[in-house]
Amino acid sequence: MQIKEIFSSQLPVGEKLTIKRNRFSPTEEKSGNKRVSIVSGIHGDELEGQYVIYLLATWLANNPNALRGTIDLYPGVNALGIDSITRGFPIYEVDLNRSFPGGDKEFLPGQLVDALAQDVKGSDIAIDIHSSNIFLREIPQIRINKEFSEATLPLAKKLNCDFIWIHDAVTVLEATFSHTMNKLGTKTLVVEMGVGMRLTKEYGVQLLNGILNLLKSEGIIVTDEEYEQREPFSSEIGDVFYINSPKSGLFVAELNHCAMIEKGQKVGSIVNPLNGEILEELFAPNGGIMFTLREYPVVYEGSLIARIFGNPDNEKN
Amino acid sequence: MKKIEILTIESLNRSPLTIEGYLFEGSDPKAASVAIVGAMEGKTVLPLYSASKLVEFLRNEIGNKEKIRGNILIIPSINHYALNLGERFWPLDKTDLNMIFPGYGAGETTQRIAHKVFEALSGYDYGISLETRNDLSSCISYISLLQSGYEDIPSARKCGLRLIHHKEMKPTDTVSLQYNWQLWGTKALSIICPSDTKIETDGYKEIFESMVRFLYAIGSIEYKVMLGYDSNIVYNKGIEIVKTPKSGIFIPTKKTGASVAKEEMIGKIINALEGNVVHRIFAPCDGVITCVYNNGLILENALAFRILKNASA
């Protein structure tokens, strides 16, 4: 276990910003050993990854002889954001995950992401753990850019998540950590799970099992433990259906997150607390699994309420 | 002048957000048309003020409809909700509206806002977006023109501002208003305004006059103002970055727009608890200060100044 500051900046008044990495290395270094980097907290309001990394650090500390490769943990990239419940980099108000690849001559957030990218560079695999945001709750899922899916999809299937979403290449997403690292030759996966500002323990344990499974199958750890794996839904064989709020108001959910849902089933209502009026009732446009559900109840017209994955026009997927 | 409603969105607890445009219909259908967008962010007070003064000018100063030849649409504010709270971005989810164009009519709230605004802005010959920098610095007023392949430098020169930053595209620029406007055939540019949130009486004039000059130069209005600068085209390599190796209280001793000589002192950093000077910042080259960090407290390695090197101008 070796803790290193990968980025630091003295703050104006008696404090220092530091971004830390913890490296777990095998007792016996061999050429050809693989390296995996696990990153979380690029968004300061997303904490689920902190718990997963805690669980992984505990496992690694308790199983030092299992290591056959290097594992780098970066639990709190946006350290100031995490401690101030701020999604972006405080003071500058910028989204770090839209600031990659950054550079030494850029403004401070650009220098920070550059330092992270340079430190992770050379890893064989990277996993960037997100928690959606404070507005939406997500089942454990992997997001993959189609551009890199040939290399990353086989890895994603080992991570014990419920859903793999392969999305089209979008230029604006080239400013993300995952795109930058994939371009630099590190196979990088993005995990989305849970909800902002909270921990979901069962999801943390589920992803830990997936990460250990991946590490074992890549020969980075050696262990007799068997890790049961879920068979994820994949967006290759179905469609994603969106429910956006048709009205502004207060969203009251009718269903639990992650439920299997039938076409036409009621998802919830938009209500007005002032006069007790139901402004709109919302129904599933398609059957399938509701993998995203609105968590923060205040909505505007257009706010995302839910996402359902299923086969089109299938009543009962 | 016609006031047109572009979009209304209801809110659970706030007044509805109604985005309005001021349309000045020109007397000559063949004359160039222009659309101008003011505040997209909540802290862009100068863009808001400059756009609203242009509305007043066209309505009261020019008055005579014959002198307005081409259609002119001005949307002084898109993001009232943020302006009224002193927030920078869309208050609920902190979305930057200038990172969501061309929008999507069936998408998220901010995508719908961008979609409706973009519909209203489409089809104009020229477009001006008034913005501020997003890196916690203030600057001299200048044109930012993306190297998109669709940009039009000759029209950008017509504003007569001192600098045109011919900016390399970043991935996030592909969802900006300027880029999407250009993609759809409008000769669009951004005027980057100083990030002042307090306005002095004449604080808007340079921006305001550059827009009037532009409107006259493209034949949209008959109202001549004094000639502006023969704009310098600037690229990133011509800008010297000055970082501070120390954190503390930042006191710039030179302002934006100042000409400086190499090794001239331009700022200092004070120990925030003990009051002593911990670092003096000297100009690394001869040039003009284009941007200054816009906060009294500064972090180690933050960008304190940007200087346009003389040889590059």
Amino acid (1-letter code) at residue A146? K
Q: What percent of chain B has pLDDT over 70?
A: 99
CB contact under 8 A, B248 and A93: no
Please report which confidence band the pLDDT of residue B313 belongs to, taking 50, 70 and 90 as the band edges: low
Query: Splitting chain A (317 residues) into consecutive groups of 10 residues, what average pLDDT does each group show?
Result: 96 97 90 94 97 98 96 98 97 96 96 98 98 95 95 97 92 94 97 96 98 98 94 88 97 88 96 97 95 96 96 62
Whether residue B162 contacts residue B143, with contact meaning beta carbons closer than 8 Å, is answered with: no
Q: Do B302 and A107 touch (CB under 8 A)?
A: yes
CA triplet A198, A199, A201: central angle to 5 degrees?
155
CATH number assigned to the domain with residue range B2-234, chosen from the 4 options 3.30.559.10, 3.40.190.10, 3.40.630.10, 1.10.1740.10: 3.40.630.10
Q: Distance (Å, rounded) from C-alpha A178 to C-alpha A96?
A: 12
In sequence order, which residues have a C-beta less than 8 Å from that of residue A31 and are 6 or more positions away?
Answer: none
Provide, as residue numbers in chain B, all residues whose Cβ is less than 8 Å from the Cβ of A174: 171
Q: Give the separation between CA B277 and CA B271, rounded to whole angstroms.
A: 6
State residue A27's pLDDT score: 85
Distance CA A206, CA A192 (A): 13
Asked if residue B311 has pLDDT above 80, the reply is no
pLDDT of residue A220: 97
Whether B172 sits inside 8 A of A94 (CB atoms) is no
Query: Please, where are the H alpha helices in chain A?
Result: 48-62, 79-82, 108-120, 149-156, 177-183, 201-217
Q: Tell me if B171 and A173 make a contact (CB, 8 A cut-off).
A: yes
Chain A residues with beta carbon closer than 8 angstroms to that of B175: 171-172
Question: CB A94 to CB B241 under 8 A?
Answer: no
Q: Which of A107, A247, A304 sits opposite B136 (nearest CB)?
A: A107
The neighbouring-strand residues paired with A249 are: A299
Chain centroid to CA A142:
7
Query: Which chain A residues in 196-225 lie under 8 Å from chain B, judged by CB atoms?
Result: none
The answer on pLDDT for B220 being more than 80 is yes
Asked if B12's CB is within 8 angstroms of A175's CB, the reply is no
Return the bridge partners of A310, or none: A239
Query: Is the separation of the CB atoms in B307 and B256 below 8 Å?
Result: no
User: Do A262 and A288 meet the contact criterion of CB atoms below 8 Å apart?
Assistant: no
Residue of A143, A81, A151, A78 lying closest to A112 (CA atoms)? A78
CATH topology of domain B238-312: OB fold (Dihydrolipoamide Acetyltransferase, E2P) (2.40.50)
Q: Cα(A190)–Cα(A149) distance, rounded to whole angstroms? A: 12
Interface with chain A: mutation pick from B177, B197, B241, B301, highest number of A CBs within 10 Å: B301
What was the pLDDT predicted at A314?
53
Give the end-to-end CA distance of chain A in Å, rounded to a whole number: 47
Kindly report the backbone phi and psi dihedral angles of residue B65, in degrees, each rounded to the nearest multiple of 5, phi listed first. Answer: -60, -30
Give chain A's domains with CATH numbers.
2-233 (3.40.630.10), 238-310 (2.40.50.100)
Buried-state track A172-202, b at ≥16 Cβ within 10 A, e below 16: bbbbbbbbbbbebebbbbbbbbbbbbebbee
Q: Mean pLDDT, chain B, as a whole number?
A: 95
CB pairs under 8 A between A and B: 102
Please choose, from the candidates A284, A287, A197, the residue with its C-alpha nearest in 3D space to the C-alpha of residue A238.
Answer: A287
- In this structure, the strands spanning B17-24 and B72-77 are antiparallel
Which one, of B260, B280, B276, lies nearest residue B268 by Cα? B280
Report the C-alpha gap between A128 and A120 in whole angstroms.
Answer: 11
The helix/strand/coil state of B191 is strand
B297 at interface of A, judged by CB pairs closer than 8 A: yes
| Inter-chain touch A9–B301, beta carbons under 8 Å | yes
State whether ipTM is beyond 0.85: yes
Assign A175 to helix, strand or coil. Answer: helix
B11 touches chain A (CB under 8 A): yes
How far does the CA of residue B70 sit from the closest CA of chain A (Å)? Answer: 35
Handedness of CA A59, A63, A66, A67 (dihedral sign): positive
Q: Would you call A199 helix, strand, or coil by DSSP?
A: coil
Closest residue in A to B242 (Cα) is A105
Cα separation, A152 vs A146, in Å, equals 9
Contacts of A18 in chain B (CB under 8 A): none
Question: How far A171 CA lies from chain B's nearest CA (Å)?
Answer: 6
- Please report the residues numbered 126 through 185 in chain A whose beta carbons come closer than 8 angstroms to any beta carbon of chain B: 133, 135, 171-175
Residues of B in Cβ contact (< 8 Å) with A135 = 93
Q: In what order do the strands lie in the sheet with B248-252?
A: B277-282, B265-270, B248-252, B297-298
Q: Is B177 in the A-facing interface, judged by CB distances under 8 Å? A: no
**So what's the pLDDT on residue A317?**
43
Q: How many CB atoms lie within 10 A of CB A126?
A: 26
Q: Closest partner residue to B299 among A98, A105, A108, by Cβ? A: A108
- Exposed (0-12), middle (13-18) or buried (19+): which is B30, by Cβ within 10 Å? exposed
Which residue out of B9, B90, B100, B108 would a mutagenesis test of the A interface target, given it has the greatest number of A Cβ atoms within 10 Å? B108
- Each residue's pLDDT tens digit, B266-299: 999 999 999 999 999 999 999 999 999 999 999 9
pLDDT tens, B82-118?
999 999 999 999 999 999 999 999 999 999 999 999 9
| Cα–Cα distance, B142 to B86 (Å, whole number) | 24
* Cβ-defined contact of A14 to B272 (cutoff 8 Å): yes
Place of tokens 């502004």: A248
Among A107, A250, A304, the residue with its CB nearest the CB of B12 is A250
Q: List chain A residues with CB under 8 Å of B172.
A: 98, 172, 175
For residues B293 and B306, what is the distance between their CA atoms, to the nearest angstrom? Answer: 9
In this structure, are residues A302 and A248 in contact, taking their beta carbons and an 8 Å threshold? no
Interatomic CA distance for residues A156 and A127, integer angstroms = 10
DSSP 8-state assignment for residue B5: E
Residue B259 burial (10 A CB sphere; 0-12, 13-18, 19+): middle
Q: How far is CA A275 from the centre of its chain?
A: 39
Q: Which pLDDT belongs to residue B312?
A: 62
Closest CA to A113 of A89, A147, A138, A129: A89
* pLDDT > 90 fraction of chain B, expressed in percent and rounded: 93
Alpha carbon distance A109, A99 (integer Å)? 7
For A54-87, letters b (16+ CB in 10 Å) and e give bbbbebbeeeeebbbbbbbbbbbbbbbbbeeebb
pLDDT value, residue B50? 96
Q: Tell whether the torsion through CA atoms of A53, A218, A22 and A81 is positive or negative.
A: negative
* Tokens coding A120: 């992770």
Residues of chain B within CATH 2.40.50.100 domain(s) are 238-312
Angle at B188 (CA atoms; ends B186, B193), nearest 5 degrees: 160
What is the CB neighbour count within 10 angstroms for residue B261? 11
Chain A contact probe: residue of B85, B172, B175 with most A CBs at under 10 A: B172
Q: Does B169 touch chain A (CB under 8 A)?
A: no
